[in-house]
A and B are shown apart, each in its own frame.
Chain A
């Protein structure tokens, strides 16, 4: 089945220790998104790739970086995690043809805990 896969599902890291979360998709969608969701809050968009074009949200800290080496994979790098970065990180994909937003398909998320 076509799907969005995130690894790992759970990650514990120490304060300041870099961590990388991965997302892969078999949907062949051209847009990939990274969201941060804290407990009982809405998903907050960090950035997205439209094909190879990276689009950062204005309020996303520099501590968060992303890479998309090919259509199928996208990585979220947190260079120096702080305690406030403890959250669920959701990857999503969509097939967008320009302008209007289309359905987003979410992965199961990676629950990150920073100690």
Chain B
């Protein structure tokens, strides 16, 4: 079945710095979605990427979908304490999502 791998699994980020989290698949994805889960919360949809090479921005967050539609990245600039949480990528297809293991981000004030 479809699998997506995320690296790194854990990150400690100084407040104000930038960081990137990566998502890779062995197969071509029809689309990729990113979710954020705060500690003790539930996954919340951030964005969906569909087109090869697509780049989308949401304020300090930049999402990219690779040309081959096998990888994606999320880059956050000027990290804030509210960015704490686990970021999941999920590969989409056939009405189901395959979630990566997530990147747990801790923000150091």
Q: Name A's B-contacting residues (CB within 8 A).
A: 31, 33, 40-45, 48, 50, 55, 90, 92, 94, 96, 98-109
CB proximity of A73 to chain B, nearest CB, Å: 19
The B contact surface, by secondary structure, is: strand
Query: A101 to chain B: which residues have CB within 8 Å?
Result: 30-31, 33, 92-97
Tell me, in angstroms, the Cα distance from A109 to B42 when the chains sit together. Answer: 7
Residue of A nearest to B92 (CB): A101
Tell me, in angstroms, the Cα distance from A83 to B94 when the chains sit together. Answer: 32
Query: B42 to chain A: which residues have CB within 8 Å?
Result: 90, 106-109
What's the tally of chain B residues with a CB closer than 8 Å to chain A?
Answer: 22
Query: B65 to chain A: which residues have CB within 8 Å?
Result: none
A103 contact from B48, B99, B100, B101, Cβ within 8 A: B48
Query: A96 to chain B: which residues have CB within 8 Å?
Result: 95
A48 with B95: CB separation less than 8 A: yes
Query: B48 to chain A: which residues have CB within 8 Å?
Result: 102-103
B97 with A45: CB separation less than 8 A: yes
- Can you identify 23 A-B contacts, CB atoms within 8 angstroms? A33-B96, A40-B104, A41-B101, A43-B99, A45-B97, A45-B99, A48-B95, A48-B96, A90-B43, A92-B43, A99-B30, A99-B93, A99-B94, A100-B30, A100-B31, A100-B92, A100-B93, A101-B31, A101-B33, A102-B48, A105-B45, A106-B44, A107-B42
